[in-house]
Amino acid sequence: MQHIVIIGNGIAGITAARNIRKLSDDSITVISGETDYFFSRTALMYIYMGHMEYRHTKPYEDWFWEKNRIELKRAWVSSVDFDFKKVIFSKGGDLAYDKLILATGSQSNKFGWPGQSLNGVQGLYSYQDLELMEKNTRNISRAVIVGGGLIGIEMAEMLHSRNIPVTYLIREKCFWGGILPVEEAKLIDRHILEHHIDLRVEVELKEIIDDGNGRVKAIKTKNGDTIECQFVGLTVGVHPNVDLVKDSPVESDRGILVNEYLQTNYPDVYAIGDCAQMRNHLPHRRAIEAVWYVGRMMGETVAGTITGTQTKYQPGIWFNSAKFFDIEYQTYGTVPNQLRDNENHFYWECEDKKKCIKIVFNKETNIVSGINLFGIRNRHEVWSKWLGEGKTLDYVVKNLETANFDPEFFKRYESDIQAQYNQQFPDKPISIRKKGFLEKLLT
């Protein structure tokens, strides 16, 4: 029987532990200094907003781990002796392993701004960050958020829920401009402004100003504006946490480098989740993918290999989802923020300016390569099938009803989308879906 040590109790590490237990009687130890038990990181914002308590974010009861013979150790790891197979703890002591899984997650980016270490300045990734934000935002009169990504808009919603005025600085021309095409990005810009967030695009942070006692009192932008605030959220993305492999024989680039079996270059050492970087990633996937479901799939994959069945990581078609205040977002396949030379797109936007669909397809073959949905839910399995089978634009627009996942009494938009398609592509018209009785009542 081997001893498997997992550093990190996020979704990747815990999924690995659970699946190793299903497949073997090996000894398993999960190490984390963050929390005693696994919790849903994506639910941190709802704790701050008062929708949940921390105990509600734990998917498993506390007794689950002992019952399943998964040992949990609350500790920070300072280093790893890869040659002698020992994990060394920051407060002393070590732990031997036969096989090691690095699931160390991400760290918030910082770019050397003057004042970025002042009290009241922070990112949002860990449970400790949530506790710090609770402390840092108590009795403040204004907050500034820097960075137009998912964590930034979550933080804006969190502060807005407590009626704290927010100025939101985005370097790009519109929200998440490095990911979203301009139509979708502007739709979210409007939605942010509707929630009374002071959104400022094409504005960059220059410095964070000290109040003389080590706390932030204002920020200064590169265009010369000074904004008074008592809290600064630095949400300019995250990067893989590779601290434990620096200056070690385990190879890393931006992340810890792994092959298709999630193995590093060093014997019996694996890396999964946000910290892992694929040496040879699939053409439709990125080398580093810091999203929840990737960690889960990697955890399932590495469990097979570690317990004796070599298992390749095969993530399939890219997908993701998020929520921007009241607007839900889904994406399947590849939707670049700027079209490539061989691509075209079909775009529909609802009259309420809060729902839209963009479908990207090949100009020559009309085969669809990706879709963005805002405010409308579609079924994952349907889009995975369509993209995998190479369905064409006219096919998917004609059959959109098949993919619909909105509740029964939600308004349906397939007929409006199909009418827009026929206007945009009159040379390949499709029959327009007839509205049902309930839909006519809701219209």
Q: For 253-275, what is each residue's pLDDT tens digit?
A: 999 999 999 999 999 999 999 99
Mean pLDDT along residues 125-141: 97
Cα dist. 371→31, 154, 278, 335, 341 in Å? Answer: 39, 23, 25, 6, 18
The pLDDT value recorded for residue 283 is 86
Mean pLDDT for the chain? 95
Mean pLDDT along residues 388-410: 93
Mean pLDDT along residues 310-319: 96
pLDDT over 90, % of the chain: 93
Smallest CA-to-CA distance from 236 within 49, 106, 44 is with: 106
The pLDDT value recorded for residue 435 is 60
Q: Which residues make beta-bridge pairs with 94? A: 88
- Token pair for 167: 């100025």
Mean pLDDT along residues 394-417: 92
pLDDT above 60 (res 436): no
The pLDDT value recorded for residue 442 is 47
Mean pLDDT along residues 127-140: 97
The pLDDT value recorded for residue 440 is 52
pLDDT above 50 (res 441): no
Smallest CA-to-CA distance from 282 within 310, 305, 313 is with: 313
What domains are defined for the chain?
3-107+239-306 (3.50.50.60), 121-236 (3.50.50.60), 319-442 (3.30.390.30)
pLDDT above 70 (res 438): no
> In 10 A of CB 96, how many CB atoms?
11
Three-state DSSP string of the chain: CCEEEEECCCHHHHHHHHHHHHHCCCEEEEEECCCCCCCCHHHHHHHHCCCCCHHHHCCCCCCHHHHCCEEEEECCEEEEECCCCEEEECCCCEEECCEEEECCCEEECCCCCCCCCCECEECCCCHHHHHHHHHHCCCCCCEEEECCCHHHHHHHHHHHHCCCCEEEEECCCCCCCCCCCHHHHHHHHHHHHHCCCEEEECCCEEEEEECCCCEEEEEEECCCCEEECCEEEECCCEEECCHHHCCCCCCECCCEEECCCCECCCCCEEECHHHEEECCCCCCCCCCCCCHHHHHHHHHHHHHHHCCCCCCCCCCCCEEEEEECCEEEEEEECCCCCCCCCEEEEEEECCCCCCEEEEEEECCCCEEEEEEEECCCECHHHHHHHHHHCCEHHHHHHCHHHHECCCCCCCCCHHHHHHHHHHHCCCCCCCCCCCCHHHHHHC
The upper half-sphere exposure of residue 18, i.e. CA atoms within 13 Å in the direction of its Cβ, equals: 17
The per-residue pLDDT for range 5-37, each reduced to its tens digit, is 999 999 999 999 999 999 999 999 999 999 999
Contact 368, 346 (CB under 8 A): no
The per-residue pLDDT for range 110-121, each reduced to its tens digit, is 899 999 999 999
pLDDT above 70 (res 197): yes
The per-residue pLDDT for range 275-290, each reduced to its tens digit, is 999 999 988 899 999 9
- Token pair for 173: 């021309």
283 alpha-carbon distance from chain centroid? 20
Question: CA quadruple 267, 82, 256, 132: dihedral positive or negative?
Answer: positive
Mean pLDDT along residues 82-96: 97
- Token pair for 43: 């639910």
pLDDT above 60 (res 185): yes
Taking the C-alpha atoms of residue 159 and residue 130, their distance in angstroms, rounded to an integer, is: 12
The pLDDT value recorded for residue 75 is 98
Q: How confident is the model at residue 410 (pLDDT cuts 50, 70, 90)?
A: confident
pLDDT above 90 (res 76): yes
Strands 99-102 and 269-271: parallel
Mean pLDDT along residues 207-224: 98
